[in-house]
Amino acid sequence: MLPHVQSLDADSGQVKQVVVLGSTGSIGTQTLDLARLHPEKLRVRALTAGRNVALLAKQAREFGCELAVIADRSLHGELRAALEGSGCRAAAGPEALIEAAMLDDVDIVVTALVGYAGLEPTLAAVSRGRRIALANKETLVVAGGLIAEAVRKGGAEVIPVDSEHSAIFQCLVGEPAGAVEELILTASGGPFRDLPREEFASITPARALRHPNWDMGAKITIDSATMMNKGLEVIEARWMFDIPADRIRVVVHPESIIHSMVLFHDGSTKAQLGVPDMKVPIQYALTYPERWKAPHERLDWTALSRLNFQEPDLERFPCLRLAFEALERGGTASAVLNAANEVAVARFLSEDLTFMGISELIEQAMDRLAGPGNTLDALRSADAETRRFAEEHVRAAIH
Ligand code: NDP
């Protein structure tokens, strides 16, 4: 399925036209850093954000964009005022996000928005046959089957941004179809990797937000602390690489130097390594199959005295087990898992739910609500129903 690498050092010289959905977040701002680094090769045409009007308008002016979209409709007027005289059109709401994803003559849509909100814009970009630099993992978690089918029909290209999937993708370049025995996703284990179970009850949001290796948005940082992030990545890998869950393995690797590995049928394993820096996989998703020169930090081999590996502990981190279960159940189970997790993380951050309450809520939602069906309508209503259930559950627990 993967095309061959054409050359080791050449680049096409063509300017790539880019849209960044979620430009004000961690992945979005790093994508724009890359556009600053390669101004002769990347042209940014449109940007979107959730609520951060000030930063969105500043970015749109700097890059001379033609369209800036704010997801929260109530901020439309504020964005319009902030862009006055810039020549950039201000738009708002979910339809405008879709419009940005479908802009004419665009080469790459970077999906760097967080959560379920990424699903419909991603589907729209796929339907236009674009290259999607996919960071928004929730999209494949909720609707991996639908996206895979739309990619097959529409000729789009989905290149992963997530460092683990980028590592696997890079290991697969040039390999024949059907050669893979197992995908091995590495996990840092997060800030509570070695914390005894009895201390989990006292985990606060401030503590969970301190990730040892990566600087990321709040949602994914909490997902890393619960290891739901790895669970979401397992589901993402299942669809991205079209491989069953029983051939995806998770290994805890605290140093985050090996970003993931592929075991082939002949017993050979390939790994992709680098310092933990998201700019590397983001750039590869923009440039593949080329590799552009960049000053990102290089690994210092002599300083790397040891790399450690261990099995994940599914008792202390039940979210990872729940993700494998969601894949096994099929139907709407992954959509339910995702929606319950989004509510649970937001409610943990607002201190309405405990850390262990996150996995308990997800498990209850899956037991109650997961069912058959994988159409967009079935997934949408599973998402909405789960959010209602989860909010009620939290409200009942508070009172
Ligand atoms: P952030 O929270 O830092 O940024 C999220 C972006 O999405 C912001 O631009 C935000 O706008 C926008 N946004 C938030 N809510 C909505 C909404 N309802 N509708 C439209 N836009 C919205 O997230 P990250 O950059 O950390 O992560 C983005 C995605 O990439 C996630 O799916 C994450 O799992 C994935 N990812 C992130 C990695 C990382 O290193 N950060 C690594 C691998 C994957 P505003 O600023 O206005 O709120």
> Which residues, other chains included, contact 152 with Cβ-Cβ below 8 Å and sequence gap of 6+?
none
Question: Distance between CA 367 and CA 379 in Å, rounded?
Answer: 16
Closest CA to 222 of 234, 233, 213, 210: 210
Q: What is the DSSP string of 289-326?
A: T------PPPP-GGG------B---TTT-HHHHHHHHH
Per-residue pLDDT, 13: 73
Q: Are strands 89-92 and 67-70 parallel, antiparallel or unpaired?
A: parallel
**What's the 47 CA to ligand 1 centre distance in angstroms?**
13
Question: Token digits for 367?
Answer: 């037991």
At the topology level, CATH places domain 2-161 in Rossmann fold (3.40.50)
CA dist 364 to 35, 51, 336, 338, 379, Å?
44, 31, 10, 13, 18
Q: Which residues pair with 186 in a beta bridge?
A: 251
**What's the 26 CA to ligand 1 centre distance in angstroms?**
7
CA dist 41 to 27, 34, 287, Å?
19, 10, 10
Q: Which ligand 1 atom lies nearest to the CA of residue 223?
A: 34
Contact yes or no for 328/206 (Cβ under 8 A): no
Per-residue pLDDT, 4: 39
Length of the chain: 399
Task: CATH 1.10.1740.10 in the chain: give the residue spans.
Answer: 174-275+296-398
Per-residue pLDDT, 106: 97
Contact yes or no for 294/338 (Cβ under 8 A): no
**What's the 25 CA to ligand 1 centre distance in angstroms?**
5
Task: CATH 3.40.50.720 in the chain: give the residue spans.
Answer: 2-161
Question: Distance between CA 123 and CA 111 in Å, rounded?
Answer: 11
Ligand 1 neighbours, Cβ below 6 Å, are: 22-28, 49-52, 71, 112-114, 117, 135-138, 162, 214, 216-220, 278
Q: What is the DSSP string of 9-59?
A: S----PPEEEEEETTTSHHHHHHHHHHHH-TTTEEEEEEEESS-HHHHHHH
Each residue's pLDDT, cut to its tens digit, for the chain (399 residues) gives: 333 334 444 566 789 999 999 999 999 999 999 999 999 999 999 999 999 999 999 999 999 999 999 999 999 999 999 999 999 999 999 999 999 999 999 999 999 999 999 999 999 999 999 999 999 999 999 999 999 999 999 889 999 999 999 999 999 999 998 999 999 999 999 999 999 999 999 999 999 999 888 889 999 999 999 999 999 999 999 999 999 999 999 999 999 999 999 999 999 999 999 999 999 999 999 999 999 999 999 999 998 889 999 999 999 999 999 999 999 999 999 999 999 999 999 999 999 999 999 999 999 999 999 999 999 999 999 999 999 999 999 999 887
Q: Are strands 180-187 and 157-160 parallel, antiparallel or unpaired?
A: unpaired
Contact yes or no for 244/330 (Cβ under 8 A): no
The CATH number, out of the four listed (1.20.210.10, 1.10.1740.10, 3.30.70.1290, 3.30.390.50), of the domain defined by the range 174-275+296-398? 1.10.1740.10
Which residue's CA is minimally distant from atom 9 of ligand 1?
22
CA dist 132 to 14, 106, 232, 255, Å?
18, 11, 18, 29
Q: Which of 220, 229, 342 to mutate to test the pocket of ligand 1 (most atoms within 8 A of CB)?
A: 220
Per-residue pLDDT, 301: 92
